[in-house]
A and B are shown apart, each in its own frame.
Chain A
Amino acid sequence: MRKAKHPPVFWLFLAPVLLAFVLVIVVPFLLGVYYSFTNWSATARIGENLAFIGFGNYAKILKDPSFAYSFMLTVVYTILNMIAINVIAFSLAMLVTQRLKGRNVYRAGFFVPNLIGGLILGYIWQFIFNNAVPSIGTLLGFGSWANAENLVLAKSTTALLALVVVGAWQYAGYIMVIYVAAIENIPQELIEAAQIDGASPLRRLFAITLPMTSQAFTITLFLTLVNSFKQFDVNVSLTAGGPAVMFMDQPIYGTQLLAMNIYNQGFKSNDMAGGQARAVIFFLVLAIVSVIQVSVNKKKEIEL
């Protein structure tokens, strides 16, 4: 008898995850894409006034200044956050792979912020920016730091930087761990050979460490890109979208990233279909950008 190509145990082992996958991702995803072309709302649902309206929701989004603003803001935030996280994480990784006495303690310390949820981190940092920073200012003799208009979170530009600071603080330790693993996997003889040839530390960084860790960069850049683009919880707790700014002659949220824009459109404005169409655009942009990023990075990887 011919051996079955897919034995029962194959399907038995896969069944639970396939079921979860279909229930939680596949069906809602397809439903979501469908809903984005309808007038879906609290009063219109399947079997009850639901009408297909084509690209109506998408046309509305293109005319909405708050979406355009959130989109640009998210791009800026993602770029700043990716640079900040990776530069800090790589520097920390270089530091804690040196012969330091307490290197395991330092590693643990840099990783700790990642263990706490973004919502709580946001509230902690909100307190720091609103209360601790003015106190530090007073101690140093800058009493003006305590004025309401000088607070970090009072201006949309500095509030965006505050989001980057918290994002980097939260995520740098996690990315550092990936870099540490990559740096420790570099064959010791390569470094010794370079040292004997008289290569300076800077030269060793560019000629050995960076090329030898290029595989790690593919992963870290992907993770930081996707996570920065999807930032939601720190945004909600740290700035809650504020302060307001004027954009295209309309007052809108000054630090509302895309994920929060989608959430507010659906749950606060009760425009589920509009929020869903935003989410579809969000998904397409994220998918295209991350596929490009991974393929570009893959080409730069070197194999030993």
Chain B
Amino acid sequence: MHSTDIARADPAHLIACPQCDAIYRARMPGLGERAVCARCHTVLIAPRKRAGMIIIMLSAASLILVLGAVWFPFLKISRQGFVNEATLLDAALSFTGGPLLLLSLAVTALIVLVPLARAILTIYVLGPLVFDRPAPPGALRLFALAEALRPWSMAEIFALGCAVALVKVADLAHLSFGPAFWMFAALVFLTVIHDRWMCRWSVWEALEHGYGARRPKGAAA
């Protein structure tokens, strides 16, 4: 395509690579195919069949798992007759003295509040779209917020931290995993699948034009 052609095209029909600023005429690839930036290879569009519904179900599952993981103990320790169990909130709020309180707030946000907020925002924004309803009020801003929160959602790092903690005190006391640990392990798995199914461009387009406006042929909700 000549640069003059693309410069004259309606900007609404273009897509810009967020990483290198190259612009292309936006065209929905077939299901399972991906549109990739020719210059820096960033994936621009990657639609999947029934992605909306799958992402909503994953978010609902994540929501239940985070809430469950908060209340059930995730690690249990015993030594010389003393036994202690810790829930996620115990760990998040364990830094109590003075400036370390800040750390407690940060840890609570990173492992409980941010994953929870992302799940709720995703359901709120995508739910109506999947059922062919108009986008809910504030959907664009809230989806932008969910995207901004993505790097700060650290549940999977916390799960690996549990495993390290287990080894670290192995010679100090006996440790065992509680139900919440397994919930967290499942959550890690769900987060990975969630990110693989999410095609951000499709969501932005759907929020702007209504769901199905640029749906690839044969794709259902």
Is this pair of chains taken from one and the same complex? no
